[in-house]
Structure 1
């Protein structure tokens, strides 16, 4: 009887292998052959799942975004305002080796998105979702009296989102799997300034 293959599980195995290869060799070293070898598959076995490296990178980006959102849902459950905002940001920031590896997937995706309207649309939709979440937390924080900053929430949410995305770049460019980039302290400084007028 032929073995039943779980295609979703196989795709995730390939994404995990891609992360490991990019962490070790960078995006240029992450050839389909290297990824297949890392995952323990024959080179041709990738084609049914990802016809090209480009389709694999797009899937990997979506997977990083979805995985981050799952973590966010877990850590913000039952929280509101500044507490929820802090928890959200901590899950996006590359504060450990897993999230640094995620950043190393995201940054090459952005590079491709510059000249690829489809990828650019995926990025915009993802960031619109995050910006909306940040604004929601800020609205709650103002309602609770924790934020009285004179700056409009749409500007603050854009500023914070750009800080989080910049942290992805800093982590991706850090030597090795360095995770102590002071990002947690920078986040706390931002939140302190946000609450300074309270």
Structure 2
């Protein structure tokens, strides 16, 4: 009887293998042959799923984005306002090995997106989803009196995104440069300013 193949599961196995190879050897070391070997497949077995490494990296980006969103949904459940916003940001910050590995997937995708309109659109759609979620948390926080800064929600969201994505770059390039405790402290200091501004006035 022929073996039934779970194609979605196989794709995820290939993405996980890509993740490990990039984390260990960088994007240039993530050849299709190395990825197949890491996943325990024959080299030709990748072709039906990902004809080339470019498509594999795109799928890996989507997988990382979905993983992050799943973590956010778990940690922000039952939270509102500033507490929910902090939980959101904590799941994007590279605070452990898994999230550093995620950054190492995201960065090569960004490089590809610079010259690939489809990838650029995928990235912008993903970031707009995050912007919308963060804006919602900020609206709740303002309604609860937790955020009183005169800075617009749009500017706050963009500042936070710059902080989060910048931290991913630093973590991927120099993982020992910023310890998780430092990144969390920087986030908390910024969030405190969103309320402290009006008190100082």
- C-alpha displacement at 1:179, in angstroms? 6.8
TM-aligned CA distance change 1:147 to 1:106, over 3 Å: same
Q: TM-score, normalised by structure 2?
A: 0.95
- C-alpha displacement at 1:18, in angstroms? 0.6
Q: Kindly report which structure 2 residues correspond to 1:68-83, keeping only aligned pairs within 5 A, or say none.
A: 68-83=68-83
Runs of 4+ in 1 over 6 A off after TM superposition: none
Of stretches 37-46 and 178-187 in structure 1, the one that deviates more from structure 2 is 178-187
Question: Which residue matches 1:150?
Answer: 150
TM-aligned CA distance change 1:14 to 1:179, over 3 Å: farther
- C-alpha displacement at 1:84, in angstroms? 0.1
Q: TM-score, normalised by structure 1?
A: 0.96
Question: Which residue matches 1:33?
Answer: 33
Question: Which residue matches 1:128?
Answer: 128
Q: Is the CA contact (8 Å cut-off) linking 1:61 and 1:109 kept in structure 2? A: yes
For structure 2, list consecutive stretches of 5 or more residues without a partner in the other structure.
none
TM-aligned CA distance change 1:128 to 1:194, over 3 Å: same
Instruction: State the alpha-carbon separation in 1 of the partners of residues 108 and 68 from structure 2.
Output: 17
Question: Which residue matches 2:190?
Answer: 190
Q: Is the CA contact (8 Å cut-off) linking 1:18 and 1:30 kept in structure 2? A: yes
For structure 1, list consecutive stretches of 5 or more residues without a partner in the other structure.
none
- How many residue pairs are counted as aligned between the two chains? 197
Report the RMSD for the aligned CA atoms in angstroms. Answer: 1.3
Q: Is the CA contact (8 Å cut-off) linking 1:96 and 1:179 kept in structure 2? A: no
- C-alpha displacement at 1:44, in angstroms? 0.5
